[in-house]
Amino acid sequence: MALRYKTRKRLSLLILIVGLPLYIIVAVNIVALFDRPSVLVELLVYVGLGVLWAFPLKAVFKGIGQADPDG
């Protein structure tokens, strides 16, 4: 079932305002559980986690910046 444009736009806004900060907090807390690795390894972990959240949500964000195709 495909989401309508307005629904995707609202959902993407909710994800960016609520979901992404929560994801950041959880990711930082999980990384903090381990001993601090070298700066390069820590950078790679944060870059990986920073990209990881976007893959499952790609369909929601796709085409949001375009004009409304529904009307």
pLDDT of 67 above 80: yes
Domain annotation covers residue 30: yes
The pLDDT, as a whole number, for residue 13 is 93
Residue 32: inside a domain, yes or no? yes
End-to-end CA gap in the chain: 19
Report pLDDT digits (tens) over 6-53.
888 999 999 999 999 999 999 899 888 889 888 998 899 889 988 988
The count of domains in the chain is 1
- Residue 45 located in a structural domain: yes
In a domain, 22, yes or no: yes
One-letter amino acid of 67:
A
DSSP 3: P
Please give the residue range of the domain that contains residue 50.
Answer: 12-59
Q: Is residue 44 in some structural domain?
A: yes
